[in-house]
Structure 1
């Protein structure tokens, strides 16, 4: 076909992620970029409606035009956001003009009435893009929106531990700690030992240490005035992390480990590892902080 290696890889990715699902599903194909403001405004609309229509056979696929320039060129994308509906590998409608939930629902309803879409429960594999979106939104710091995404996934797949864990973490990030605890209590015992749920439980535990501004200032001052006081350092690190000051918390704990790694049966290291678990080992900040910890421990 005259394609170079990178273009062939792009085609293969598109075939697996978009073309093959479109053989039986209606795929909403969203062309976007990180720098595109209107794209970011449209994303919550696409995510919410796609989740609502999942049982009707609708899935959402996103193509970053900066990373997949060859695919964007094949669709002759001239501006973004550009949104198409695909069925059996072919564009069947241009959805770009649908910028509200009601507009998008109207257009999808019209397409679903005409096309032989296979409805029914969304297969587990189809949940992967939605779960990835939820994690991306969490990483951006928007706990409210992340909680909404994961709640929709939980409604679609009540036995999905990753969705339950994401919902709890989103609620924690949004400051809705009591709701997060309630969700944890209601999770099926069969899922309670799952790593995603354990991670969420760690996030709740750490969030309980969140102080008000005056208390945090007091703990910060005490830690600064008494650098050799391990109790003061640990109290400040716990409060700082709960208040969203990851770097301050990690720096304090790393300094404690460097000074006396065995203090209180390794409490500083245990607290740091608990923070890693709450955030997720794949997070870039965790990876960087783990390297600092390794340097201290194994130098």
Structure 2
């Protein structure tokens, strides 16, 4: 091995192998004369920069200056792009030629590998704070919950769980436009997260809610005619608006039992929205789902 090759190997060890012990290192083999390389360069540089906090590092290897390294990776054409973790190639990313394709590959790899990252460290740090915010929301302390989630958002912006907490706290304070503005400001990939669906459901329920000080009139209509679905649906809405979640669910379940197709399945749709707003992992939702299943499959 020539001195030049030895220097290249040492540089590769320093720049790629050692960092890959904890990071996902993307190795881009390229050359000045390569047209497709020039097209790919801005894409791969942008995506790797976006994913730096997730533990992704980009290393570019000029094949003309590093023939020995290129040969070790059996590079036959360029651009060739490999993902390296713990000193070993774990994926060939050469077919990813768009930002979306490259992000999809990286997301998959990061979900499977124990890559260390600033983002993971931050998530571990804020997890107890998110739990505190959720506890305050459950207890109806919406102003305090909003303060907690706002502080977390300053530490970790554009996080789905945090944005969901902010929005749901704002819903609890009847600030629905502000809640929608929080969600509207999120990047597209974050806005698709399930936690954001929960916040949207909470907003939808609040938009439809009509608090009723005295439900005795509509309760009397339902008692007089249990099949008056319009009255029962109104009663369920009033109960939800008044914070009586259990009774609201009971009325919606009774509607589904009596006529699941009424108004294009409005009762079931409203019940599912209530589930989403509460949180699909919540034990209360699990119990209500069992009741729904018993009705649907009886």
TM norm structure 2: 0.55
Structure 2 residue matching 1:208: 3-state secondary structure:
helix
Question: CA 1:251 to 1:201, structure 2 compared with 1: closer, same or farther past 3 Å?
Answer: same
Q: 1:261 and 1:222 mapped to 2: Cα distance? A: 20
| Matching of residue 274 in structure 1 with residue 259 in structure 2 | no
Q: For 1:206-253, what per-residue CA distance to the aligned partner results, in whole angstroms no more than 9, with x for missing partners? A: 011222435755544443443212222222212321221112211111
* Aligned residues between the structures: 181
| Matching of residue 286 in structure 1 with residue 285 in structure 2 | yes
Q: How much has 1:271 moved relative to structure 2?
A: 1.1
Q: 2:126 and 2:255 mapped to 1: Cα distance? A: 42
Task: Choose 161-170 or 190-199, whichever is displaced more.
Answer: 190-199
Gaps of 5+ in 1: 1-118
The aligned residue for residue 231 of structure 2 is 232
The aligned residue for residue 53 of structure 1 is none
Larger radius of gyration between Structure 1 and Structure 2: 2
Q: 2:206 and 2:215 mapped to 1: Cα distance? A: 14
Q: For 1:104-134, what per-residue CA distance to the aligned partner results, in whole angstroms no more than 9, with x for missing partners? A: xxxxxxxxxxxxxxx9996222121111111
Q: For 1:25-75, what per-residue CA distance to the aligned partner results, in whole angstroms no more than 9, with x for missing partners? A: xxxxxxxxxxxxxxxxxxxxxxxxxxxxxxxxxxxxxxxxxxxxxxxxxxx
The aligned residue for residue 184 of structure 1 is 183
Structure 2 residue matching 1:155: 3-state secondary structure:
helix
Gaps of 5+ in 2: 1-117
| Matching of residue 162 in structure 1 with residue 161 in structure 2 | yes
The aligned residue for residue 100 of structure 2 is none
The aligned residue for residue 246 of structure 1 is 245
The aligned residue for residue 138 of structure 1 is 137
Alignment of 1:28-177 (within 5 A): 123-177=122-176
Question: CA 1:135 to 1:214, structure 2 compared with 1: closer, same or farther past 3 Å?
Answer: closer
Q: 2:205 and 2:275 mapped to 1: Cα distance? A: 11
TM norm structure 1: 0.55
* C-alpha contact (below 8 Å) 2:256/2:267 kept by paired residues: yes
* C-alpha contact (below 8 Å) 1:208/1:242 kept by paired residues: no
Q: 1:219 and 1:185 mapped to 2: Cα distance? A: 37
The CA RMSD over aligned residues, in Å, is 2.4
The aligned residue for residue 260 of structure 2 is 261
The aligned residue for residue 99 of structure 2 is none
Q: How much has 1:156 moved relative to structure 2?
A: 1.1
Q: 1:145 and 1:298 mapped to 2: Cα distance? A: 42
Structure 2 residue matching 1:266: 3-state secondary structure:
helix
* C-alpha contact (below 8 Å) 2:212/2:241 kept by paired residues: no
Q: 2:223 and 2:206 mapped to 1: Cα distance? A: 23
Q: 1:275 and 1:284 mapped to 2: Cα distance? A: 13
| Matching of residue 208 in structure 1 with residue 217 in structure 2 | no
* C-alpha contact (below 8 Å) 1:230/1:256 kept by paired residues: yes
Q: 2:156 and 2:176 mapped to 1: Cα distance? A: 23
Q: For 1:80-120, what per-residue CA distance to the aligned partner results, in whole angstroms no more than 9, with x for missing partners? A: xxxxxxxxxxxxxxxxxxxxxxxxxxxxxxxxxxxxxxx99
